[in-house]
A and B are shown apart, each in its own frame.
Chain A
Amino acid sequence: MAQVIVVTSGKGGVGKTTTSAAFATGLAQRGKKTVVIDFDVGLRNLDLIMGVERRVVFDIVNVIQGEARLNQALIRDKRTEGLAILPASQTRDKDALTREGVAGIIEELSADFDYILCDSPAGIEKGALLALYFADQAIVVTNPEVSSVRDSDRILGVLQSKSRRAEEKREKVKEHLLVTRYDPNRVERGEMLKLEDVREILAIPLLGVVPENESVLRASNTGTPVIMDTESVAGQAYKDAVGRFLGEELPHRFLEPDKKPGLFKRLFGGRAA
């Protein structure tokens, strides 16, 4: 039986799709058969971030409406063994996504995969509710910024009241906090919420911290999940988060500001600021 994981946040632009792509790739790299589903009907983007946009033939709505089989709509990743992508529809109406339809897809995927990642759209409308409904676990992506933290808190409330586990009064959805776009230098200058503040406010277990990093834009430009950039700090942070998700105990890295310039640099080469 596959584990269903929703990647969610409430707020848009915090890194849900980046995280979904990186996490799905990371799980597959660790030998877990993984499928990642884009729930953002009308505004699909996971295909671009995964670099498979040229290969999309059918999408989740085609499958729900019986126009294509699930196997035909799944795009197998050519770089990572055991990884598949189910794209969202770009042209259909959002109402084409039904709970029964999604239930059928998840059930069918459960037979073949270890993990089913659901990349949620922003907001708390139908697409987002469907993305989280079947979840066993949730990765809540949060930026150290007031509106993102508030929206994450809101989505945690939705997980606890509107997921299938909540409705069936089963054990609650396992929550994981992933802080992204963290900038230790700005935290040190007092310009950004501290990791400890975010943890204290949301009070859910911390899965990882992904620093603000140039590699994320580079990855999206080329359609390569950032976890494949093993030299980059963001790639390494995602790799650590996947390891922790699979039960490893790894220290959190990249939380310290850049080293203070030495005496020489301060005298001869330092910045005016």
Chain B
Amino acid sequence: MMSWLDYFRSTRKPDPPSASAAKERLQIVLAHERIGRTREDFLPKLQQELVAVVARYVAIDPGKVNINLDRGGDMSTLAIEIELPGPPATAGAARTSAAAAR
């Protein structure tokens, strides 16, 4: 039985429910992991091949290749950032983005 003191204590700071966030996060991460179980991880190979293609045209530093992934429910985004060396005026990062629905 709750006393009136407990009533004030429990209503002082209502917390947003977090269980739904847990369920949603699990559904996304598990969906991706279950696919991964039956199929080899293609990301290392994809990266190697992409870098090899770019290297055919420009001398690039393999250490300056950044790969970012954001797994989503309906769509994942893979962003591969390759820093291209070159004359100062045109130097900079060229960004190749591939959105992959998986």
Q: Give the residues from 55 to 97 in chain A that come closer than 8 angstroms, CB to CB, to chain B.
A: 55-58, 62, 67-69, 71-72, 90-91
A residues 216-273 touching B (CB-CB < 8 Å): 217-218, 220-223, 231, 261, 265, 268-272
Q: Within the complex, which residue of A56, A90, A218, A268 is in contact with B15, where a contact is CB–CB below 8 Å? A: A218
Q: Which range holds the interface residue count of chain A?
A: 20 to 34
Using a Cβ cutoff of 8 Å, how many contacts connect chains A and B?
69
* A57 with B63, Cβ < 8 A, contacts A62-B44, A223-B25 known: no
Once A48-B29, A53-B25, A54-B70 are accepted as A-B contacts, the answer to whether A91 and B18 lie under 8 Å apart by CB is no
Contact with A along B1-39 (1 / 0, CB 8 A): 111111000000101001101100100110001001100
Q: What are the 9 closest A-B residue pairs judged by CB atoms, nearest first?
A: A269-B3, A221-B18, A221-B22, A67-B44, A54-B71, A57-B69, A218-B18, A53-B29, A222-B21
Q: List 11 A-B contacts (CB under 8 A).
A: A54-B29, A54-B69, A58-B44, A58-B67, A69-B63, A71-B66, A90-B33, A218-B18, A265-B5, A269-B6, A271-B1
The size of the chain B interface, using a CB distance under 8 A, is 33
Assess whether B65 is in contact with A90, with CB atoms less than 8 Å apart.
no
Q: In the complex, which residues 35-50 of chain A have their Cβ closer than 8 Å to any Cβ of chain B?
A: 48
**Chain A 204-225 interface mask (CB, 8 Å, partner B; 1/0):** 0000000000000110111100
